[in-house]
Amino acid sequence: MASPPIKRLLRVLAGETLSPPPWWLMRQAGRYLPEYRELRGQAADFIELCLTPTLAAELTMQPVRRFGMDAAILFSDILMLPYALGQGLAYREGEGPVLEAITGHADIARLNAVGALARLEPVLITVDRVRRALGPQTALIGFAGAPWTVATYMVEGGSSRDFHKVKGWAYRDPQGFDALLGVLTGATIDLLTAEIAAGAEAVQLFDTWAGALPASGFARWVIEPTRQIVAALQARHPGCPIIGFPRGAGILYAKYAVETGVDAVGLDTTVPPEYARTRLGQRVALQGNLDPVLLLTGGAALAAAVRDLKQSLGGSRWIFNLGHGVLPETPPDHVAELARMLSEPMGCG
């Protein structure tokens, strides 16, 4: 029998309610930290940064060292998977990621699912290094993009506003599109299995664009691949908790929480905490969901919002986080202030 977890994040994922809540932030490593900007210059580009274990491990540790979060999240990117599958990828300054867009069956056939994990070996080495370096209180979270969200970047050729290409393909040729998601689902299972074997103690699936699909597409391309990933991980690494983040899912959050089998759901900024507590909190642990703009704003607005969130979710299985990633302009002092507010006992914050 495995002994019960000691790390606060893992305790909540295993079913406990803790006060104060454990916390970490999506994009807690990144450009808002001066020490990130300094190290960033040591790699030729962002891909090299992700694939150099000494640098990636140090970047993973930076926010934890500065602010004492309850979890570190592996420093990598969801687009390392398409890169490892052989798709051309570059990150352009101010423009975000640019991929060699894939458009159909012939492109899917060229993806190298067999060799992908070998190309991601440096990421697994990073996981191992960070796990050894972390203190006994801090959990290590591994992650991957969910197949739908990764597919949006692969088909659109980068970030998109309207998703016309990827949805056009999915609607015109659902079986062909299923084949792409099938490749991504298998590769994601392999990647997350390897991250857990290397030392990740929980994993998060980022489905940033889950909200771009209508209900039928959500069932087929968000819920179903996620359900398959969760089932496979539970078979291979029973007891390793899985957090799903179906950003923008709206009222479909409830279906997601029931049908995917995830242990926790990441709430985006728009989900009312009371709704989450009463409608989702019976089934899964809750994670979220302070507006990142409040962290950017700081001051009285931040303090009031943190107090409100503690009041709504403090009695639930709750992990404090933002509703989306830390914005690059965020003053690090605001994160320090947040850490202080979160550590105050309930009711006095």
Residues 6+ apart with CB under 8 A from 254: 279, 280
Closest by alpha carbon to 242, among 252, 232, 250? 232
Q: For strands 96-99 and 89-92, give the pairing.
A: antiparallel
131 is catalytic: no
Q: Burial of 297 by CB count in 10 Å (0-12 exposed, 13-18 middle, 19+ buried)? A: middle
11 is catalytic: no
**Is 241 a binder of ligand CP3 (CB under 6 A)?**
no
CB-side exposure of 199: number of CA atoms within 13 Å? 19
Q: Which is nearer to ligand CP3, 222 or 314 (CB)?
A: 222
Active-site position among 32, 36, 83, 153: 153
Question: How far is the CA of 202 from the CAs of 7, 71, 249, in angstroms?
Answer: 11, 10, 22
Q: Which is nearer to ligand CP3, 77 or 263 (CB)?
A: 77
Q: In this structure, what are the phi and psi dihedrals at residue 246, rounded to the nearest 5 degrees?
A: -90, 75
**Is 315 a binder of ligand CP3 (CB under 6 A)?**
no
Of 187-206, binders to ligand CP3 (CB under 6 A) are 206
Residue from 21, 53, 67, 77 binding ligand CP3 (CB under 6 A)? 77
132 is catalytic: no
Q: Which is nearer to ligand CP3, 36 or 312 (CB)?
A: 36
Of 28-67, binders to ligand CP3 (CB under 6 A) are 28-31, 40, 46
Q: Which is nearer to ligand CP3, 79 or 286 (CB)?
A: 79
40 is catalytic: yes
Residue from 26, 80, 284, 309 binding ligand CP3 (CB under 6 A)? 26
How many residues make contact with ligand CP3 (CB under 6 A)?
Answer: 21
Please say whether the beta carbons of 212 and 159 come within 8 A. Answer: no
**Is 163 a binder of ligand CP3 (CB under 6 A)?**
no
Residues 6+ apart with CB under 8 A from 314: 19, 21, 346
Measured from the CB of residue 46, what is the shortest distance to ligand CP3 in angstroms?
A: 5
Where do runs of H (alpha helix) occur along the chain?
8-13, 34-40, 46-50, 53-67, 80-84, 105-110, 113-119, 121-133, 147-156, 164-172, 174-198, 215-217, 224-236, 253-259, 273-275, 292-297, 299-313, 332-343
**Is 97 a binder of ligand CP3 (CB under 6 A)?**
yes
- Of 77-85, 109-117, 270-278, 309-317: span binding ligand CP3 (CB under 6 A): 77-85
Question: How far is the CA of 139 from the CAs of 17, 127, 146, 162, 199, in angstroms?
Answer: 17, 12, 21, 36, 10
Give the nearest residue (CB) to ligand CP3: 208
340 is catalytic: no
Of 101-140, binders to ligand CP3 (CB under 6 A) are none
Residue from 188, 208, 287, 312 binding ligand CP3 (CB under 6 A)? 208
Question: Which residues are known catalytic residues?
Answer: 27, 31, 40, 77, 153
The contact set with ligand CP3 (CB under 6 A) reads 26-31, 40, 46, 73, 75, 77-79, 91, 96-97, 143, 159, 206, 208, 325
